[in-house]
Structure 1
Amino acid sequence: MDIKRRHFIGASATALATGALAAPALAQSQPEVKWRLTSSFPRSLDTIYGTAQTFARYVSEATDGRFQIQTFPAGELVPGLQALDAVSTGSVECAQTATYFYTGKDPALAFGTGVPFGFNSRQQHSWWFFGGGAEIINGVLAKYNVTSMPMGNSGCQMGGFFRKELTGVDDLKGLKFRIGGIGGQVLAKLGVVPQQIVPGDVYAALERGTIDAAEFVGPYDDEKLGLVKVAKYYYYPGWWEGGAMMHLVINDKQWNALPKHYQAIVRNAAEAANNWMLAKYDFVNPPALRRLVQQGAELRPFPPSIMEAGHKAAFELYNEIAATNPAFKQALESMTAVRADQLVWWQIAEYAYDSFNIRNRGKS
């Protein structure tokens, strides 16, 4: 056998051996993982629930299909308001939910989604990553064997549909209002009777008169829920949800079992889905609002007396809770400090720019 032939055979054997070793090594670095995600939201709300589906698709694409996350809308695996519990016990690996649904466990969780007269969407995002938000909220969630990260934001919401017109604070007394989170506790101080009802049941409750008013998100989703058919007064702004952040919550054991690069993929996919949700709402809400007005919705700003009373009641409640809850106190102090700086900058830059464009929108 000549030298060239021996060299070729040796090189081929080496290549085959390398290939045989590379395949298992690749498989070890890209293991097959199958998770289930339960959402707190119904399939019909295609932007919110669609964010969970978008996240799952991003993870699959980034891993060549080796990491699959199957998504389930509220009610298919567990009720929407029990999503966190399902993750905590390990019944499912992860969930798409809003942490303010679980203020009964710890009121500090309200700050994860947003509190009345708190941040707007960008400020909330900034606080989470740079103002201590992640550490505070995940510190609370650690007691329930879960960790979380942002995965969506609604932007500033509408105040909801009301069967009767509001002229002042007295009109709130005895009003049965579908509202989630700590906003309901604030409104309760003004005489409202808050009702926490899952999205799929809101229309029926409003139609039957079980409730007098209902808020959900904004025009696009409110149109899907059909609320304009049973209540015509459409109030703004949703001062209890200036930028509601959604979360991906993950069972600690499942999270820690992931390879580090899979954890990075999950974080980046959740962040990309977060941006997808906010961008879509910004695009679909304006035409939906026009359609609702065409269908009979009467737009109304909340009377200034209600806004002022709401603001006063909110910070009274925060101080009451902070007096007995260290995590809530920490979150409140963090939010207040960050928000004070943010608002000064916002007034100089974003607010001034947007206000000019709003005044001149008919000139271009």
Structure 2
Amino acid sequence: MKRREFLKGAAVGGAGAVVAAAASFPKPAIAQSMPELKWRLASSFPKSLDTIYGAAETMARFVNEATDGKFQIRVFAGGELVPALQVLDAVQAGTVEMGHTACYYYVGKDPTFGLATAVPFGLNGRQQNAWLYQGGGMQVLREFFADYNSVNLPCGNTGVQMGGWFRKEVKTLADMQGLKMRIGGLAGRVVAKLGGVPQQIAGADIYPSLEKGTIDAAEWVGPYDDEKLGFNKVAPFYYYPGWWEGGPTLDALINKQQWESLPKAYQSILTAAAAYANTDMQARYDAQNPAALKRLIGSGTQIRPYSKEIMEAAYKAAHELYDELSASNPKWKKVYDNWKPFRDDQVSWFRVAEFNYDAFMGAMSVRK
């Protein structure tokens, strides 16, 4: 045999051997032994709000791609499977495997749920993530959620919110008396202490209530979502800041039995996907809110700051409420005692660098 023919034959034979050997290698465990799962996720939010509703879709897409389609999560908007404000109940009962919601919707069951999302004069978005991921927040909350047959994963943050839409101006505490306001979580109890009448209404139902005058004011998130919902058409005054939501976390809730039945690889993938959606949501809001606010102002919206009188009264009322809850609710106290010193340290640190930097940049932008 000539040398050239021998080498040609050897090369062909070698390639065939490599292919045969590759075919005989064991496939990765996730492709070979992982189960095929199809879960349903009930959201508290309408599809029209692509940023807040979209976090669940982002998480589901990453899980699907990371498992080559073996673990699929189908997202249903608020009201499609269960009412928007009953997502926790559905997860707890096992009606659905998962939910995506703001847990402060359930403070009527236990006020401790508020700390999982946001409480008045609480943490901003970065501080909230620091507490959850590095400050012991997830550990104490996991114990609490276990009582509701649920496992929580942070899955979205809006950043600090606006302070709501009002049909009339509110300049003093006297203007808060009898004011019917759509507001969620423990903020409603603070508003009540100030003389207002809090209302808990799902996002999709706020506009008609405000339009008909059933309520006098409503808060939701911020310019991007609020513009979509059309609140500027029925209430001209837009207040800031949302002192009750410095950095609210949205949670993916998982039925505890379903979570424990997942392979560890799936648990890790789901945790990572939720963490990505958590940061992605705030990035999207931060990117979209500036232009939306400009459009709202251009269309006639009048932005107003809350007065110092209202802010200080609300701060005092909030901390009175926290002391009352600590004295009467052991579950609240356990989480709050972890949360409060962390918040106080964060505020002290942010005063040094973040606050002064932001204040300077804000002042310079006004000069332009």
Q: TM-score normalised to the size of structure 1? A: 0.93
* Secondary structure class of the residue paired with 1:307: helix
* Structure 2 CA distance for aligned equivalents of residues 96 and 339 of structure 1: 25
Aligned to 2:255: 251
* Structure 1 CA distance for aligned equivalents of residues 28 and 362 of structure 2: 60
Unaligned runs of 5+ residues in structure 1 are 1-7
* Secondary structure class of the residue paired with 1:144: coil
5 Å-filtered alignment, 1:129-278, equals: 129-278=133-282
* Structure 1 CA distance for aligned equivalents of residues 170 and 245 of structure 2: 19
1:43 is aligned to 2:42: no
* Secondary structure class of the residue paired with 1:42: coil
Task: Verify the 8 A CA contact 2:224 2:288 in the aligned structure 1.
Answer: yes
* Secondary structure class of the residue paired with 2:50: coil
Deviations 1:117-163 (A, max 9, x none): 01001111111122221122221110111110100001000011000
Decide which of 65, 70, 88 is 1:84's aligned counterpart. Answer: 88
Task: Verify the 8 A CA contact 1:106 1:140 in the aligned structure 2.
Answer: no
* Secondary structure class of the residue paired with 1:107: coil
Aligned residues: 357
Deviations 1:242-280 (A, max 9, x none): 101100100111111111111111011001011110000
Give the letter aligned to residue 247 of structure 1: D
Task: Verify the 8 A CA contact 2:30 2:67 in the aligned structure 1.
Answer: no
Change (3 A) 1:362 1:236: closer
Stretch moving more, 344-353 or 223-232: 344-353
Unaligned runs of 5+ residues in structure 2 are 1-12
Deviations 1:265-302 (A, max 9, x none): 10110010111100000010011011111111100000
Task: Verify the 8 A CA contact 1:118 1:335 in the aligned structure 2.
Answer: no
**RMSD (CA atoms):** 2.2
Give the letter aligned to residue 153 of structure 1: N
Deviations 1:170-198 (A, max 9, x none): 11110000001110011101111000001
Change (3 A) 1:116 1:25: closer
Identical columns (%)? 54
Change (3 A) 1:175 1:45: same
Deviation at 1:221, TM superposition (A): 0.6
* Structure 2 CA distance for aligned equivalents of residues 59 and 282 of structure 1: 25
Aligned to 1:335: 339
1:293 is aligned to 2:317: no
* Secondary structure class of the residue paired with 2:352: helix
Decide which of 55, 58, 64 is 1:54's aligned counterpart. Answer: 58
Deviation at 1:30, TM superposition (A): 2.8
Deviations 1:87-112 (A, max 9, x none): 11111110111111111221111000
* Secondary structure class of the residue paired with 2:356: helix
Aligned to 2:36: 32
* Structure 1 CA distance for aligned equivalents of residues 338 and 54 of structure 2: 32
* Secondary structure class of the residue paired with 1:116: coil
Deviations 1:212-256 (A, max 9, x none): 000000001110110111110100000000101100100111111
1:317 is aligned to 2:321: yes
Deviation at 1:19, TM superposition (A): 4.9
* Secondary structure class of the residue paired with 2:353: helix
* Secondary structure class of the residue paired with 2:181: strand
Decide which of 297, 300, 307 is 1:303's aligned counterpart. Answer: 307
Task: Verify the 8 A CA contact 1:112 1:245 in the aligned structure 2.
Answer: yes
